[in-house]
């Protein structure tokens, strides 16, 4: 099953939020639950990246690629990179996979590879 990451669209002004906010950052709408979830697109452009060599203890890999991607709808997200030689401006495509695993919990997030 293909998984998605959701952004939240304000029902009043249409502003799209990622991550979730309870009050609209654009129009100030503050009625509870007045946001519609909307799956984020998975393709975009790599804006910033790093390779992390000092990882949090629960990661079982020697290094970790991380980056910020501008998705095709303009929303910017942080994700893991499965790219050997990343470069700013590179076209990337994401898939939603397990990005972090704790003892009793799995977390899903975006992992990007070169498009």
Partner 1 sequence: MRDVYVIGVGITSFTRLEFPLSEIAAYPVMMALKDAGIKEVDHLYVANMGSGRVNHQTGLASAVVDTLSLTPAGAEVVENGPASGASAVKTGFMAVASGVHDVVAVTGVERMREVNSLEATEFVATLTHPLGEYIYGVTLPSLAGMFTRLYMEKYGVTSRHLAMVAVKNQDNALLNEFAHIQQKITVEGILDSPEAMTNNPFVADPLRFFDCCPVSDGGASVILATREVAEKLGKPLVKLAGVGQATDTHCVSEREEPTDLLAVRRAAAQSFEMAGVTPADVDVAELHDAFTILEIVESEEVGFFKKGEGHLALERGETQIGGKLPINPSGGLKGRGHPVGATGVAQAYEIVLQLRGEAGKRQVDSPKVGFTCNFGGFGNNVVCLTFTREN
Give the nearest distance from C-beta 45 to partner 1 in angstroms.
Answer: 13
Which position among 18, 41, 45, 114 is part of the footprint of partner 1 (CB under 8 A)? Answer: 18
* From 13, 22, 39, 88, residue interacting with partner 1 (rule: CB under 8 A): 88
Task: Compute the distance between CA of residue 78 and CA of residue 39 in angstroms, rounded to an integer.
Answer: 16
Q: Is the peptide bond before 50 cis (omega within 30 degrees of 0)?
A: no
CB of 102 to partner 1, least distance (A): 10
# binding residues, partner 1 (CB under 8 A): 29
The residue (of 13 and 88) whose beta carbon lies closer to partner 1 is 88
The SS3 call for residue 48 is strand
44-63 binders of partner 1 (CB under 8 A) = 47-57, 59
Could you give the angle at the alpha carbon of 10 between the alpha carbons of 33 and 18, nearest 5°? 95
d(CA 61, CA 46): 22
According to CB under 8 A, which residues from 61 to 80 bind partner 1? 64, 66-68, 76-80
Q: Which two tokens stand for residue 115?
A: 């498009």
């Amino acid at each position: 099953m293909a998984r998605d990451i959701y952004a939240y669209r304000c029902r009043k002004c249409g502003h799209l939020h990622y991550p979730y906010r309870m009050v609209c950052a654009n129009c100030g709408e503050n009625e509870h639950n007045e946001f519609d979830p909307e799956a984020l697109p998975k393709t975009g452009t790599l804006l910033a990246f790093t390779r992390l060599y000092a990882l949090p203890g629960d990661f079982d890999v020697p290094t970790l690629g991380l980056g910020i991607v501008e998705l095709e709808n303009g929303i910017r997200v942080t994700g893991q990179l499965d790219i050997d030689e990343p470069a700013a401006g590179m076209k990337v495509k994401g898939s939603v996979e397990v990005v972090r695993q704790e003892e009793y919990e799995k977390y899903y997030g975006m992992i990007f590879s070169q498009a």
